[in-house]
Copies of this chain bind each other. A is one copy, B any other.
Amino acid sequence: MITTIQQVLIPNGDRYQTVDVRLEGEKIGAIAPRLEAKGHLINGRNKLLLPGFVNAHTHSSEMWSRGAIAPLPLELWLAELYDQTLTDPEQVYLSALGTAVETLLSGGTTVVDHLSLIPGQEEASVAAVVRAYREVGIRAYVGPLVYDFSLPAGVPSRGRVRDIPPGEQTASEVLELLERIVEAYHRPEDGISIMAAPTGLQLCSTDLVEGCRDLSDRYSLCRHTHLLETKAQQMLVQEKYGCSAVELFNKLGFLGDRTSLAHGVWLSDTDIDLLASTQSTVVHNPLSNLRLGSGIAPILRYRQAGVNVSFGCDGAASNDSQDLLEAIKIGSILHNITDAEYQNWIRPIESVQMAALGGVTGLGMADQLGTLDAGKTADLVMYDLTSLSLLPRTDPIGLLVLGRPTNAIHSAWVNGKSVVVDGHVTTVDVKELRQRLFEHSQWNRLDESLPLDSASLWRRETEPHYRYVMGLTKGSQ
């Protein structure tokens, strides 16, 4: 299959140029000012072509809770979320479809799904998202969200003796499950990769982290985890291990050039240098970090230290959208308030590079994806620059990153295959998807006979101790 995109704008250093782009099978065959009009011809006039972005951290099944959880800090928000666990793999399938569609329609061609598993239906959960991502045709990295501690273990003790229940599965049980999932679903050549993705040090033993590391070595898997999202997590690791989470991950051999770490808000300069020297990637999830009050990740310092940074939406219960362009915009401008030296601020063209090349670098794919170069795999997105939201004509990438593009995605290709045409996802029926999401859900607080939402069981258990730990109770400061 040969396609020629004719006379499309692409960035070229600090300028733009108008070119023809040839797609040959899975690859970008050629890029030049004029190419022979071969194969399927696409009019690229008044459009901008960019490498596809990576939604480098999300939890697809959280879509069922989006909009539903009150503004709360992570530890209490998580307690609420735990009470909204899904039970039906069909729901997991539908939210993965939704996540994939929203990612594609906001410039993403790859999704990293740190996937919550339904207890007792773990493999069916993975099967459900793999089916969804194959149907949509998005490139997917699925990291089963595994842990071997119970939820209360995720909050520091701060000197209190607490009765923390054991986790529901041991590290070795979890690792056996993971290996079965890898055997069954890890098919990178088909665009579906399984990741070794422990939840984080707050809910995982060092045995589990080391087991994940070994599994990733054995099967050449990418590694993924949460890193120092909140101040409480920083306190917890320090209290438990006497070192920082980065130092511990480094000791455990978990860092490296195919390791991506979500959040990275509470790091010291030493930690940052360690991420740089191990070539690890930080996934910046600005909207989630604001919504949960986690803080501002020191992204400008990461960039100065040479740490690769990419963008994620995070799960829809903590964002609550899967619009990658929104995450890129806020994740770029948010840091202007952290450094008076404006020469360090992120420029729009740099945001695009972080979202594309930065994203694939964290997945060990920088040699195959992330730039517009002949020979690379064709994961591409073409934007319609005549959308009202991108007018008047000024700087196309400035408009895309700093504006709020609406109905701006014209086309997308993953692995050379067309998945969006004229603003519509062509591989799945989005109208039917909406209908099914609608039917499987209910608006909250509509029935007067039901009591108003009150704190979940888990939250009620967690909240007094959390307030003590964070110095929010009188006398605890």
Contacts and interface: CB of A to CB of B under 8 A. Distances in A.
Contacts of A388: 98, 101-102, 430, 433-434, 437
A73 B407 CA distance: 30
B326 A395 contact: no
B71 A334 contact: no
A293 interface: yes
B65 A287 contact: no
Nearest to A77: B342
Interface stretch (A140-148, A185-193, A359-367, A442-450): A442-450
Given A345-B293, A430-B388, A68 B395 contact: yes
A392 B291 contact: no
A313 to B, nearest CB: 9
B446 A399 contact: no
Contact of A341 (B16, B444, B472): B472
A445 B399 CA distance: 14
A69 B17 CA distance: 20
A43 to B, nearest CB: 16
Interface stretch (A125-133, A169-177, A251-259, A315-323): A315-323
A241 interface: no
Contacts of A102: 388-389
Contacts of A348: 67
Contacts of A434: 386-388, 391
Q: Which of A291, A323, A391, A452 has the most CB of B within 10 A?
A: A391
A64 to B, nearest CB: 6
A9 interface: yes
Nearest to A396: B443
A199 interface: no
Q: Which of A64, A393, A430, A471 has the most CB of B within 10 A?
A: A393
A124 interface: no
A336 B404 contact: no
Interface in A203-250: none
A412 to B, nearest CB: 16
A18 interface: yes
A337 B286 CA distance: 11
A183 interface: no
A393 B321 contact: no
A296 to B, nearest CB: 6
Contacts of A46: 438
A interface secondary structure, majority: loop
A392 B320 contact: no
A377 to B, nearest CB: 28
B71 A347 contact: yes
A20 to B, nearest CB: 16
Nearest to A330: B330
Contacts of A14: 445, 452
A440 interface: yes
Contacts of A67: 348, 390, 394-400, 402-403
A294 B443 contact: no
A72 interface: yes
A1 interface: no
Q: Which of A296, A388, A392, A396 has the most CB of B within 10 A?
A: A392
Contact of A393 (B336, B385, B441): B441
Given A395-B67, A404-B326, A440-B392, A290 B333 contact: yes
Given A398-B67, A402-B320, A441-B394, A446 B76 contact: no
Contact of A398 (B68, B386, B400, B471): B68
Q: Which 6 A-B pairs have the closest CB atoms?
A: A67-B399, A67-B398, A392-B441, A293-B336, A321-B404, A68-B394
Given A17-B446, A67-B400, 17 more contacts: A9-B446, A15-B445, A66-B392, A66-B402, A67-B396, A71-B345, A71-B346, A73-B336, A73-B340, A98-B388, A98-B391, A291-B336, A319-B402, A319-B403, A321-B404, A395-B445, A406-B407
14 contacts: A16-B443, A67-B394, A67-B395, A68-B395, A70-B347, A71-B332, A72-B345, A293-B340, A293-B345, A330-B330, A386-B434, A392-B441, A395-B445, A396-B443
